[in-house]
């Protein structure tokens, strides 16, 4: 555990706490408890042991490591920490997209029926292995900036730091990749990587990922509704969703830029849909609380002594 970059390992994650390791489960990224096998950044595995995770290494890949982009990071950190909030948001968005560019695939993929694929293109996407995701040989990106190892380390380091912040609070109501909603007081600062106090909430309604609303100390209802942010919800709507109800949504919004260019004018599109709580999630829904999904591998070395 004291050296190496990535490792394949069996892990046993205890119940009763936030899952410290990402895991691809039924085409969803979850942070489960339980006993499972996978590949992780070794820095993330080392950090997981601090939270009671039992790690049994199978294979370790080692290599040379060196700091990169330090000067660039210092400059961007200064800009993000500036007194200009608009400038800070722009550079934060730029940094997120740069990280994504490092991790994108060099080859696009397409979905093929099993009878149309070669034996070496084995990546099924359904339980019966009828449909597979295979590389699209006609489209390849000649992008020298694609560096998946950099993307892997950036995300692992961010998760390690975020988990450390979350472990410091007793009452954790909701978290995103860069935020925490809690009634506990936390250390804040202006430097990059530090938490900042954004708002106070008198009451809040956390429905799902990137879907919540809260009433701030001025009595204003603030909402985060990814996918239909132009549609304002009322506090009654959030209460209804929290009880498992449905919300009919109907509003008008600007069309996309392609239609604007084609028609030569701005037109409002009619949008209608019904919002309901998703049937699938990366958590188990209780009455008011959520719990990590528990994954128990049938061949776990922890429960039945299967050989590695």
For the segment 244-291, what is each residue's pLDDT rounded down to a tens digit? 888 887 777 766 666 666 666 667 777 777 777 766 677 777 777 788
> Residue 221's pLDDT band (boundaries 50, 70, 90)?
very high
pLDDT of residue 88 exceeding 70: yes
**Domain ranges for the chain:** 6-64, 199-277
Write the pLDDT tens digit of every residue in 194-213: 888 989 999 999 988 888 99
> Residue 35's pLDDT band (boundaries 50, 70, 90)?
very high
Q: What is the mean pLDDT of residues 83-87?
A: 76
Q: Who has greater pLDDT, 155 or 117? A: 155
* Most confident of the ranges 48-52, 106-110, 246-250: 48-52
- The set of long-range contacts for 211-220, using a CB threshold of 8 Å and a minimum separation of 24, is 211/241, 212/174, 212/238, 213/238, 214/181
The lowest-confidence range among 74-83, 121-130, 250-259, 282-291 is: 250-259
Q: What is the mean pLDDT of residues 138-155?
A: 81
Q: What is the mean pLDDT of residues 73-96?
A: 78
Q: What is the model's pTM?
A: 0.76
Q: What is the mean pLDDT of residues 74-94?
A: 77
- The set of long-range contacts for 272-281, using a CB threshold of 8 Å and a minimum separation of 24, is 272/248, 273/228, 273/249, 274/246, 274/247, 274/248, 274/249, 275/228, 275/241, 275/246, 275/247, 275/249, 276/245, 276/246, 276/247, 277/207, 277/208, 277/241, 277/244, 278/208, 280/26, 280/28, 281/208, 281/209
195: buried, middle or exposed (CB in 10 Å: 19+, 13-18, 0-12)?
middle
**What phi, psi does 149 have (nearest 5°)?**
-65, -35
Q: What is the mean pLDDT of residues 233-243?
A: 89
pLDDT at 47: 96
The lowest-confidence range among 2-11, 73-82, 271-280 is: 271-280
- Expressed in angstroms, the distance from the first to the final Cα of the chain is 18
pLDDT of residue 233 exceeding 80: yes
pLDDT at 75: 83
- The set of long-range contacts for 271-277, using a CB threshold of 8 Å and a minimum separation of 24, is 271/228, 271/231, 272/248, 273/228, 273/249, 274/246, 274/247, 274/248, 274/249, 275/228, 275/241, 275/246, 275/247, 275/249, 276/245, 276/246, 276/247, 277/207, 277/208, 277/241, 277/244
């Amino acid at each position: 555990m004291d050296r190496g970059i990535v490792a394949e390992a069996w892990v046993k994650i205890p119940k009763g706490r936030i899952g410290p390791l990402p895991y691809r489960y039924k085409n969803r990224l979850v942070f489960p408890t339980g006993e499972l096998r996978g590949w992780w950044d070794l820095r993330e595995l080392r950090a997981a042991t601090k939270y009671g995770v039992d790690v049994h290494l199978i294979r370790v890949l080692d290599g040379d490591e060196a700091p990169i982009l330090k000067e660039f990071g210092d400059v961007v950190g200064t800009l993000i920490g500036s007194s200009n909030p608009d400038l800070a948001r722009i550079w934060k968005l730029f940094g997120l997209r740069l990280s994504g560019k490092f991790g994108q695939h060099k080859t696009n993929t397409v979905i093929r029926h099993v009878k149309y694929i070669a034996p070496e293109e084995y990546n099924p996407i359904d339980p019966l292995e009828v449909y597979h995701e295979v590389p699209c040989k006609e489209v390849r990106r000649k992008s020298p900036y694609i560096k998946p190892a950099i993307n892997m380390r950036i995300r692992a380091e961010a998760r390690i730091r975020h988990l450390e912040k979350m472990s410091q609070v007793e009452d954790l109501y909701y978290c995103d990749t860069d935020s925490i909603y809690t009634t506990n007081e936390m250390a804040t600062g202006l430097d990059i990587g530090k938490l900042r106090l954004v708002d106070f909430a008198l009451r809040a309604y956390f429905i799902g990922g990137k879907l919540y609303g809260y009433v701030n100390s001025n009595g204003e209802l603030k909402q985060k509704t990814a996918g239909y942010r132009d549609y304002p919800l009322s506090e009654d709507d959030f209460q209804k969703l929290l009880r498992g109800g449905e919300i009919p949504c109907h509003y008008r919004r600007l069309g996309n830029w392609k239609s604007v260019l084609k028609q030569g004018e701005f037109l409002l599109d009619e949008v209608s849909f019904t919002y309901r709580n998703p049937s699938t999630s990366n958590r188990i829904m209780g009455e008011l609380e959520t719990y990590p999904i528990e994954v128990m591998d049938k061949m776990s070395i922890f429960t039945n002594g299967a050989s590695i």
